Amino acid sequence: MESILGTSIGVFIALTVMIAGFCAYMTGHALASTWRPMWQLVPYMLLLGFADRFLSFALFEGHLLSLPAYFIDTAVLLVIGTLSYMATRAYKMVSQYPWQYERAGLIGWREIS
């Protein structure tokens, strides 16, 4: 598993999922709060994936130029950022237009009939 992730499971969970994941969550929240389109999340997550790979290399002697590890890290961050974006967008739609929309789950909304 270390050859795929580029580091140990503990480092992956602590660094990628918890620390960089929080950054991805806040990025998705910020983009949705300012009504920016979702595609803008992709370049930010690509850069955050590079930063995560570098921190893994610099702090925990992980593989810096491991393409599978970069793709896995970036995919995890993209999922976290996308979920954050969608949840924030649903909250904003319902709170700013309460006469027109109601919540439909964590990441959705629907028109009030």
Q: CA separation (Å) from 82 to 13, 66, 73?
A: 19, 24, 14
**The pLDDT value given to residue 56:** 94
Class of residue 38 by CB neighbours under 10 A (exposed 0-12, middle 13-18, buried 19+): middle
Q: Is 0.75 topped by the overall pTM?
A: yes
Q: Pick out the chain residues at pLDDT < 70.
A: none
- pLDDT, residue 101, reads 94
Chain centroid, CA 82 distance in Å: 6
Domain with 63, as residue range(s), is 2-111
pLDDT value at position 5?
A: 86
The total number of structural domains that make up the chain:
1
